[in-house]
């Protein structure tokens, strides 16, 4: 059977009373709880009309119950569509229209409810789940009535759709199959040496690849426990490290740990592995972490469309500043703009193929075709080079993407909203180096004549807060007389990046001091 849940189920511990999740408050959920809750939620979903291949939007806070909801989708062959809890009404309207869900499970405070966004979706059922794990989804459960069988799906059937924004500003739903997730989970689990003694410290969100697939899958493939924090709080992470063996994080985690007064070698006696991804890790941070702890952070490379692509080795030399070598079964190549392959140490476009690569973009066949080569390689949009040993270094992105705190931010989406303001003539949104977030979003704007600079800046931020998730908001806004343009009239963002690249340098120096 190709169902990802079936793969997990056959690896559950023999003793189902072993714990699966421990919360910050110390509450434990066993593998028996996992099985019972997942099966009961699956039954409730089927009562709500969810069947094989139907889409289920999950816009919920991180909680054990949210994990069981995701697993229930897998079990009955439904397609899970996790969404960030901070999305605004306008963003959610697009997702609802695009995905046409049979069921929406959201927080009671979501705009889906407060703005009545389902008014035009009469065939969509609605259930709630709050940050404490309560709501109508749980109220309707009958743990005595469960779905015991696992849906028979093919490897090419869609397990999840995760949205990733595009340079046009329209998010695209990446269709990730059971086969993509199963193959990648097995590869990563083995490559990073997960074993029965591991305890993962999980402080990542669960609406994107890193926390939902990479972290969770490694735990479930070992039948292991994990310490499950609702969000990253450096004090909570430091408190939990003494009873953990693995931490997966984004660079922000490590800069904040280094700055914490109680973070020291004494608290790391059980730790086996620190992993970083979702954003570039500064070499200075990696080196300071090694000097302070004796642990070299393992950097790796993945995308929404591909899950994990490459990784520094578990037991061999880890090279700071690189994301390691292609994982087993995955091929990475570097090409010139004309499509010809480049040699080692030559910088070009990163392309990838393998069983991890997604099926395509939801209802966007033309876009899917555009992003693949004729021989089946996915164009990542990243630029880099492979050295003589096959270690990949990423030097930039050909697509106009910003990765801030591990989240993808596409400037075009923000620029379109900024340019709707009457006082603004044009804008350019860029990412600049930031010690905590990897990159910070900033906006450079040109005002219409007679507009007052101070008023426009505050109005712009207020306006953006109504339309964008908080992680997309510019940290700074700068007003200039005109944007630098090339002969074709295109904004030369490279000039702007160079001008503002040292904006947060003092913050970086303070954190590394």
d(CA 76, CA 43): 9
| Residues in contact with 256: Cβ distance below 8 Å, sequence separation at least 6, in sequence order | 232, 234, 436
38: phi then psi, degrees, rounded to nearest 5: -60, -45
> Does a structural domain hold residue 376?
no
CB atoms under 10 Å from CB of 305, counted, come to: 26
Both tokens assigned to 117: 């966004």
Q: List the CATH number of the domain containing 494.
A: 3.30.300.30
In a domain, 287, yes or no: no
- Structural domain includes residue 21: no
Average pLDDT, the chain: 92
Any domain includes 444: yes
How deeply is 495 buried, as exposed, middle or buried, from its count of CB atoms within 10 A (0-12, 13-18, 19+)? middle
Q: How many domains does the chain have?
A: 1
Sequence-separated (6 or more) residues with CB below 8 Å from residue 225? 18, 19, 20, 21, 22, 199, 200, 219
Residue 143: its pLDDT value, please? 62
| Spatial CA neighbour of 4 closest among 262, 216, 297, 306 | 216
Residues of the chain with pLDDT under 70: 143-144, 165-169, 396-399, 454, 486-490, 506-513
393, 429 Cβ separation under 8 angstroms: no
Classify residue 466: in a domain, yes or no: yes
Question: CB–CB of 58/263 below 8 Å?
Answer: no
By residue range, what is the domain housing residue 451? Answer: 402-512
CA–CA dist 230, 205 (Å, integer): 8
Provide the pLDDT for residue 301.
96
Structure tokens at 140: 């309707």
Measured between alpha carbons, how far is 221 from 53 in angstroms, rounded to an integer?
24
In this structure, is residue 469 part of a structural domain?
yes
Which residues, other chains included, contact 498 with Cβ-Cβ below 8 Å and sequence gap of 6+?
A: none
What was the pLDDT predicted at 377? 98
| Paired tokens of 178 | 């059971």
- Give the pLDDT confidence score for residue 510 in this predicted structure: 55
Q: Quick check: is 503 in a domain? A: yes
DSSP class of 430: E
Question: Residue 107 domain-assigned?
Answer: no
**Please, are residues 146 and 34 in contact by the beta-carbon 8 Å criterion?**
no
The answer, as to whether pTM is greater than 0.75, is yes
């Amino acid at each position: 059977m190709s169902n990802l849940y079936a793969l997990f189920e056959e690896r559950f511990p023999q003793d189902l009373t072993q714990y699966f999740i421990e919360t910050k408050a110390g509450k434990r959920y066993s593998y028996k709880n996992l099985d019972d809750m997942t099966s009961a939620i699956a039954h409730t979903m089927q009562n709500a009309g969810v069947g094989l291949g139907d889409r289920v939007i999950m816009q919920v806070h991180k909680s054990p119950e949210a994990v069981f909801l995701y697993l229930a989708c897998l079990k009955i062959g439904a397609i899970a569509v996790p969404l960030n809890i901070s999305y605004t009404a306008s963003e959610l309207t697009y997702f609802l229209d695009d995905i046409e869900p049979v069921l929406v499970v959201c927080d009671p405070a979501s705009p889906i409810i407060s703005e009545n966004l389902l008014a035009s979706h009469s065939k969509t059922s609605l259930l709630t789940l709050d940050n404490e794990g309560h709501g109508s989804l749980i109220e309707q459960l009958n743990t005595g009535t469960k779905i015991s069988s696992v849906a028979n799906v093919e490897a090419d059937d869609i397990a999840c759709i995760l949205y990733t924004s595009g340079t046009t500003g329209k998010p695209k739903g990446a269709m990730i199959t059971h086969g993509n997730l199963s193959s990648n989970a097995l590869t990563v689990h083995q490559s990073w040496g997960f074993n029965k003694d591991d305890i993962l410290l999980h402080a990542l969100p669960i609406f994107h690849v890193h926390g939902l697939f990479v972290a969770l899958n490694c735990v479930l493939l070992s039948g292991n426990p994990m310490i499950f924090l609702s969000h990253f709080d450096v004090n909570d992470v430091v408190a939990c490290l003494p009873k953990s063996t693995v931490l997966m994080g984004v660079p922000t985690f490590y800069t904040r740990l280094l700055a914490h007064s109680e973070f020291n070698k004494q608290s790391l006696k059980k730790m086996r592995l620190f992993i970083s991804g979702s954003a570039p890790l500064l070499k200075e941070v990696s080196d300071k972490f090694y000097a302070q702890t004796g642990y070299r952070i393992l950097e790796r490379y993945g995308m929404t469309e591909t899950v994990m692509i490459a990784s520094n080795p578990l037991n061999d030399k880890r090279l700071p500043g690189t994301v390691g070598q292609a994982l087993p079964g995955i091929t990475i190549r570097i090409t010139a703009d004309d499509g010809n392959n480049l040699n080692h140490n030559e910088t070009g476009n990163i392309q990838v193929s393998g069983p991890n690569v997604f099926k395509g973009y939801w209802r966007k066949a033309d876009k899917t075709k555009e992003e693949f080569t004729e021989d089946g390689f996915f164009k990542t949009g990243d630029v880099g080079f492979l050295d003589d040993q096959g270690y990949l270094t990423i030097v930039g992105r050909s697509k106009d993407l910003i990765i801030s705190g591990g989240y993808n931010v596409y400037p075009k989406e923000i620029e379109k909203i900024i340019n709707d303001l009457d006082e603004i003539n044009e804008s350019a949104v860029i990412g600049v180096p930031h010690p905590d977030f990897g990159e910070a979003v900033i906006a450079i704007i040109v005002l219409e004549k007679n507009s007052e600079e101070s008023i426009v800046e505050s109005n712009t931020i207020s306006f953006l807060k109504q339309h964008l998730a908080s992680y997309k908001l510019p940290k700074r806004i700068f007003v200039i007389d005109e944007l630098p343009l090339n002969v074709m009239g295109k904004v030369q963002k490279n000039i702007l990046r160079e001008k503002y690249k040292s904006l947060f340098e003092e913050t970086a120096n303070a954190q590394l001091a």
